[in-house]
């Protein structure tokens, strides 16, 4: 926040930093950010809920992001999501009951020529078959 | 190990010069080269190849060369080599060889080859994927080290900017751009020269230059590749624009989904400042220009210029009605020039070679070249740049190598969620702004997704509507409610529950959403529906009347279902 000079227009950058540090944005964090940047809490909350990369809930130990861009869609990302649902019982934006795996979807990671793409804990992998994904998630 | 990398006699960048903002830990330099390098292994370090461990390939080749005491072979990190589907890629420019699918576990063949590789006079004939392309924006892509500014300068980098600020007046720069016929490469095709002139005409005072790097179209990765492979080019284009319109501060608004592009941009801004190509007294003149990077947070609508401005100011990305256009009243109410990455990346060449030279290529009102991202059911998926006016068939079958597995080509989708699907009988059309619009599609930012007979066109229309429904900012009713309604109707069709009356209603609601939405997102959202209805109405009818999905994608409740 210091780096960005407590400017109200730095709200999105600051929220990124907070989320990187704590994993998600809880009420205390939002209150603190809104006071520090002199923006209304309603605006901080509005921005945090408007953008899909911000999350207000804690994530599981591991995150799996399945790309659902056009190229991945026609190459079977829906099948991957269906398999994950039947194996682990979670859909997009959900976390398994043991808090191990959070499933997320992304609207195109720009890795279209190696579709379908999946990101495991920040590590992107291309040309993933449903079996690859399940095998990888079972390791977690 | 030394911190000097030397390739092709280019004075190496001292890694120690580059500090804090970039994580240096993972960057390892190539082997020490004595004198001229006899051969170079250019290892692709763009996101596609990186996801297949091309960073380890780099380290493995380096380690083996060092272990074997080789001192006349350089290893270099470069940006996207283009043929992303066959990554990780390693090119040896001296011999014209391209190694595909190089595994980090087995680089010994490659290393053996490197040890006796000699520069050849006549390089092997290029395959059509490369020979049919015309590289202007991508001229350095896969050639320069994206983190090394000296490498960029050695390939004629910053000559355009230097010429602009030392030899030309701002008006002459704008004239040069107008002569080139460059149009907005973000898709809408607004003449760039005219846009610059409008901003330049505003009363002097604070003005801004904004680079739209919020490449939100699913299935498009041109801007990402340019930023990852040649970031200085974009910064140079922005600086030229700032000089022309009289701005001294600029922003790059980049989506957070591209961490590598963000990292390289940050590094590039920092190094360009140190080298005197950004900041005060650019190229020893009185012109000053600074650039700040702003991150998106996952909202497609922020590609719309007024929404993008709202987002840069830290707010929700909701558009406002135009006029006033950002050229008159944009960021913080000041005149603001907004162009996308590819438009800015075209500018340095125009200033360096002249507008007329750039306009030599192209057709009709579409001059120059366009970068496309080829993906989907296609053999040579990757990043390409072609002259405008090329036949669509040549792009897909010559460059792209056609559809794999002996399947039949069905359609190519261009223009993202605001675009349309072009069927096989229109493949001989020319790729330019007007022809694509006439065919019911849209140039868009340059994603081209090829589909074969395993894709259901109703499902594709439903997919894009689902996208627009989720990404609608919710400000205006036609888009917020209309896209949801349209998505429900399309779902009904794909589930085999629809009647012919639903089809009539689908068309009328789609027309309403197109005509009454506030911004481009809503206005363009029905386009995939219109284009699939225009060319593939029989597929809609098959779902509704016969309860069959011809491609076997949709699970229909009535009749036979395949999926």
Kindly state whether B319 is in contact with chain A, defined as any CB-CB distance less than 8 angstroms. Answer: no
Q: What is the pLDDT of residue B24?
A: 39
**Which residues make beta-bridge pairs with A106?**
A67
Q: What domains can you pick out in chain A, each with its CATH number?
A: 8-50 (no CATH), 62-139 (3.40.30.10)
A13-23 per-position pLDDT tens digit: 999 999 999 99
Would you state the pLDDT for residue B16? 36
Q: Tell me the nearest-neighbour CA distance from A107 into chain B, angstroms.
A: 6
pLDDT interval class at A41 (50, 70, 90): very high
Q: Where are the domains of chain B?
A: 15-124, 149-359, 366-452, 457-544
Please tell me the distance from the alpha carbon of residue B452 to that of residue B409, in angstroms, as a whole number. Answer: 4
Nearest residue to B558 (alpha-carbon basis) of B487, B489, B498, B505? B498
User: Has domain B457-544 been given CATH number 3.40.720.10?
Assistant: no
Instruction: Answer for the pair B117, B39: CB distance below 8 angstroms, yes or no.
Output: yes
Cross-chain Cβ contact A106/B257 below 8 Å = yes
> Can you give the pLDDT at residue B9?
35
Interatomic CA distance for residues A49 and B322, integer angstroms: 26
Distance from CA of B463 to the nearest CA of A (A): 8
What is the model's pTM?
0.92
Within 365-394 of B, beta carbons closer than 8 Å to A belong to 373-377, 381-383
Residue B113, burial from CB neighbour count under 10 angstroms (0-12, 13-18, 19+): middle
The tens-digit pLDDT sequence of chain B (563 residues) is 333 333 333 333 333 333 334 343 445 677 767 677 899 999 999 988 998 999 999 999 999 999 999 989 999 999 999 999 998 999 999 999 999 999 998 899 999 999 988 888 888 888 899 999 999 999 999 999 999 999 999 999 999 999 999 999 999 999 999 999 999 998 889 999 999 999 999 999 999 999 999 998 998 999 999 999 999 999 999 999 999 999 999 999 999 999 999 999 999 999 999 999 999 999 889 999 999 999 999 999 999 999 999 999 999 999 999 999 999 999 999 999 999 999 999 999 999 999 999 999 999 999 999 999 999 999 999 999 999 999 999 999 999 999 999 999 999 999 999 999 999 999 999 999 999 999 999 898 899 999 999 999 999 999 999 999 999 999 999 999 999 999 999 999 999 999 999 999 999 999 999 999 999 999 999 999 999 999 999 999 999 999 999 999 998 865 444 43
Q: Which residues of A are less than 8 Å from B377 in CB distance? A: 74-75
pLDDT digits (tens, 9 = 90+) for B505-558: 999 999 999 999 999 999 999 999 999 999 999 999 999 999 999 999 998 865
**Could you tell me the CATH superfamily of domain B149-359?**
NADH-ubiquinone oxidoreductase 51kDa subunit (3.40.50.11540)
Q: What is the pLDDT of residue B37?
A: 85
Please state the CATH superfamily assignment of the domain spanning residues B15-124 in this structure.
Glutaredoxin (3.40.30.10)
User: Residue A98 pLDDT > 80, yes or no?
Assistant: yes
Pick A110's closest partner by Cβ from B47, B317, B460: B47
B401-434 per-position pLDDT tens digit? 999 999 999 999 999 999 999 999 999 999 999 9
Size of interface A-B (CB pairs under 8 A): 144
pLDDT of residue B36: 78
**What is the third-level CATH fold of B366-452?**
Ubiquitin-like (UB roll) (3.10.20)
Least CA distance to A14: which residue of chain B?
Answer: B314
CA distance B172 to chain A (A): 35
B219 CB near a chain A CB, below 8 Å?
A: yes
Q: Which chain B residues are within 8 Å of A10, Cβ to Cβ?
A: 314
CB spacing of B449 vs A12 below 8 angstroms: no
Q: Do B48 and A114 touch (CB under 8 A)?
A: yes
- What does each C-alpha distance from B29 to B36, B140, B206, B264 come to in angstroms? 17, 20, 42, 16
Mutating which of B295, B311, B316 best tests the A interface, going by the most A Cβ atoms within 10 A? B316
- Separation of alpha carbons B550 and B304, rounded Å: 36
CB contacts of B221 in chain A (<8 Å) are 108, 110-113
Q: Are the C-beta atoms of B146 and B45 separated by less than 8 Å?
A: yes
Q: For residue A107, what pLDDT band results from cuts at 50, 70 and 90?
A: confident
What value does the mean pLDDT take over residues A107-115?
A: 88
The answer to whether the CB of B521 falls within 8 A of the CB of B509 is no
CA-to-CA distance for B42 and B395, rounded, in angstroms? 26
Cα B249-B252-B256 angle, rounded to 5 deg: 150
Q: Nearest residue of A to residue B315 by CA position? A: A47
pLDDT of residue A14: 93
Nearest residue of chain B to residue A67 (CA atoms): B218
């Amino acid at each position: 926040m210091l780096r960005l000079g407590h400017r109200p227009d730095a709200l999105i950058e600051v929220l990124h930093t907070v989320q990187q540090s704590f994993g998600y944005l809880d009420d205390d964090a939002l209150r603190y950010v809104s006071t520090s940047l002199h923006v209304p809490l309603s605006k901080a909350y509005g921005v945090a809920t408007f953008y899909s990369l911000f999350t207000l809930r804690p994530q599981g130990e591991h995150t799996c992001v399945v790309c659902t861009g056009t190229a991945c869609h026609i190459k079977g990302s829906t099948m991957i999501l269906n398999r994950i649902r039947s194996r682990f019982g979670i859909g997009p934006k959900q976390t398994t009951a043991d808090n191990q795996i959070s499933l997320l979807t992304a609207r195109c990671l720009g890795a279209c020529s190696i579709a379908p793409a999946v990101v495991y804990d920040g590590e992107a992998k291309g040309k993933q078959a449903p079996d690859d994904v399940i095998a990888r998630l079972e390791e977690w | 190990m030394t911190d000097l990398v030397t390739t092709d006699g280019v004075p190496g960048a001292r890694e120690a010069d580059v500090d804090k903002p970039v994580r240096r830990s993972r960057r390892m330099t190539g082997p020490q080269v004595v004198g001229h390098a006899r051969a170079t292994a250019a290892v692709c370090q763009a996101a596609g190849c990186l996801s297949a461990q091309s960073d380890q390939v780099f380290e493995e080749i380096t380690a083996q060369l060092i272990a074997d005491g080789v001192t006349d072979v350089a290893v270099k990190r470069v940006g996207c080599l283009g043929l992303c589907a066959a990554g990780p890629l390693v090119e040896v420019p001296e011999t014209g060889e391209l190694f595909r699918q190089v595994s980090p576990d087995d680089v010994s063949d490659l290393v053996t080859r490197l040890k006796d590789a000699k520069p050849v006079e006549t390089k092997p004939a290029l395959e059509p994927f490369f020979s049919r392309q015309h590289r202007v924006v991508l001229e350095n892509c896969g050639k320069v080290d994206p983190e090394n500014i000296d490498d960029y300068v050695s390939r004629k980098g910053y000559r355009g900017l230097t010429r602009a600020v030392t030899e030309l007046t701002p008006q002459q720069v704008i004239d040069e751009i107008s002569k080139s016929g460059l149009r907005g490469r973000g898709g809408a095709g607004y003449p760039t020269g005219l846009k610059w002139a409008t901003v330049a005409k505003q009363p002097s005072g604070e003005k801004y230059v904004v680079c739209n790097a919020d490449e939100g179209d699913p299935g498009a990765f041109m801007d990402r590749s340019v930023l990852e492979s040649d970031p200085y080019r974009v910064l140079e284009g922005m600086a030229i624009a700032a000089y022309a319109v009289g701005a001294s501060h600029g922003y790059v608004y980049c989506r957070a989904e591209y961490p590598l592009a963000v990292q390289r941009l940050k590094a590039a801004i920092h190094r360009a400042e140190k080298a005197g190509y950004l900041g005060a007294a650019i190229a020893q003149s009185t012109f000053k220009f600074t650039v700040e990077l702003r991150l998106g947070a996952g909202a497609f609508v922020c590609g719309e210029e007024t929404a993008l401005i709202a987002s840069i100011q830290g707010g929700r990305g909701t558009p406002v009605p135009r006029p006033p256009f950002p050229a008159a009243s944009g960021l913080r109410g000041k005149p603001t020039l907004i162009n996308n990455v590819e438009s800015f990346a075209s500018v340095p060449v125009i200033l360096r070679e002249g507008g007329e030279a750039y306009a030599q290529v192209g057709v009709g009102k579409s001059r120059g070249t366009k970068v496309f991202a080829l993906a989907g059911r296609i053999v040579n998926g990757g990043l390409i740049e072609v002259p405008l006016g090329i036949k669509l068939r040549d792009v897909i079958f010559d460059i792209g190598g056609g559809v794999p597995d002996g399947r039949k080509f069905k359609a190519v989708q261009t223009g993202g969620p605001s675009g349309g699907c072009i069927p096989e009988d229109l493949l001989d059309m020319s790729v330019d702004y007007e022809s694509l619009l006439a065919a019911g599609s849209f140039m868009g930012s340059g994603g081209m997704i090829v589909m074969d007979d395993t894709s259901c066109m109703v499902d594709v229309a439903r997919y894009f509507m689902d996208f627009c429904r989720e990404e609608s900012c919710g400000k205006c009713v036609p888009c917020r409610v209309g896209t949801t309604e349209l998505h429900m109707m399309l779902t009904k069709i794909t589930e085999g529950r629809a009647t012919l009356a639903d089809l009539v209603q689908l068309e009328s609601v789609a027309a309403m959403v197109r005509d009454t939405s506030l911004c481009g997102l809503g206005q363009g959202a029905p386009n995939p529906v219109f284009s699939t209805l225009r060319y593939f109405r029989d597929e809609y009818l098959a779902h509704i009347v016969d309860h069959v999905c011809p491609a076997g994608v949709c699970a229909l409740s009535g009749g036979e279902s395949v999926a």
